[in-house]
Structure 1
Amino acid sequence: MSRYRGRFAPTPSGPLHFGSLVAALASFLDARHAGGEWRLRIEDIDPPRCPAGAADAIQRQLEAFGLHWDGPVLWQHDRDDAYQAALERLIDQGLAYPCSCSRKQWRDYPIYPGWCREGVREPGKPVAWRLRSDLGLRPVTWEDRLFGHQCFDPATLGDVVLRRKDGLWAYQLAVVVDDADQGITDVVRGLDLLDNTPWQRQLQHALGYPEPRYLHLPLIVGENGQKLSKQNLAPALPTDDEAVRPLLHAALTALDQAPPAGLASAPVVEQLAQAVAAWSVARLQPHRERPLAAPT
């Protein structure tokens, strides 16, 4: 893991928005500043959430902002065998178990109570596969590159689902297997995923995978104070150059990189060249609120 390799891994549930741009841009700049690679992975393991054409639109948006990736795109819909092999290894270690319980049944509990740990509670019903968070690596600690020392007991977070009752793979297992297979050394992503990291570190430890470094980013929020997201109807990123230039400058500003004001209308390639050379994680202010700063 001596050479830097980062990645951007969007779910194609719709086009990218300004919050997505900030996350992708930070990951890209971190990789390019380190002289490393930057990969693109399309996390399309949930087909009902992925409308036709969304993945193509995402790639066009990235290209419009000059965020060109290295190597072929990795598609999660092609990865069933790899995920199954990892799940079987966890089952063999006693770290994964089938669960027939529904969310409605344990709605009065803050986390899933582990009712099926010693055997399926309702045999004959469809089952999900869960991680035994009480048996794996505990506690989980790591040094986040922005938020510093982190320490979690995954058992207090619950037994996360690895494969759903409908047979679809869940995010936690897929992301860990893909990061390992792609040789990802550094993960740069939003702060909303920080508390997913303990499960992922448990899985990495159980599967014998390298542990990437993590940099979690402050979130971009809308006027209502909520995270900017597709669910909150955040506007899609444009692809026409005239609109892209000021948005790229706004994203660099949101990342506390203080891009020169004179570059706000400069070509994308010029803005990125300056940003790559000047990129500094030390400039990021972890606790500053970031209301949507994109020009309208």
Structure 2
Amino acid sequence: MSAAVQTPGQTRGRGPALIVGAVLVVFAAYFLVPLWWLGVTASKQQGDFTTTNGLWFSGFHLIENLRALFGYDNGIFTRWLFNSLLYAGIGAFVATVLSSMTGYYLAKFAFRGRRFLFSVVLGAVMVPVTVLALPLFLLFSWAHLVDTYWAVLLPSIVSPFGVYIARIFADSSVPTEVIEAARVDGAGEFRIFATIAQPLMVAGLATIYLFAFVAIWNNFFLPLMMLQNQDLYPATFGLYAWNSQAHLDPHVQLLVVIGSLVSTAPLMLAFLGLQRHWRAGLTMGAFNE
């Protein structure tokens, strides 16, 4: 049997491929090493934090640590997790529905000022959240909604980026001919949107929901501005409040680490549950735009 002959092009192509592979490995380590450290540290006792290797196990006390986490301060962390799921779950769902309706309307209906309105949406995407914090606080204070669930939920359901994605998917995934045929058959506009457009936009809707869920779950500045009652805190802000007390009670430092690990679980589940639609959505949106 004759040995395979490598062409000069194949030999030259190995160098860039190895460089790209090395860069990907570095980036993967950059994101995975902190997660590994978090999981390892969460299984240790308080006294082993600084006396043992931070990237390797020193006993396994994860179950004990979880019991301490959920039992501390009358189980307040369970309430914080519930609040985070409430804010992120409901907020992302409503944001997805509103974004899909708005994006579909911008893509499939011709009206005066449509381009200008879409330009406003694009401009809103680039506005930092911190710029809107003080006006939102003053508005909600005037409406007597500060320190309530509504103070975090209502701003979360507005997603200019979601409108942008929905407009792209409605324009590329929903054929105009199908809409016109449904109108000829006597279907109303809302029925067309609910039964025809939304199933065709499912990849985009999953992408919008995932982005909104992660953004709301990780939102820190809005609860900082709006909430004073710790029973309304999301998990991220509650852990921050605990971390500010770590110098008074060193045991709280361990709870912050365990809580950080637990609070990442819903995000991982969301990614795993929606990754098929999410990857398809990102690919389709990239090619169509």
Shorter-chain TM range is: under 0.3
Q: TM-score, normalised by structure 2?
A: 0.20
| Higher percent of residues as helix | 2
Higher relative contact order (CA 8 A, sep 6+): 2
Q: Which has the larger radius of gyration?
A: 2
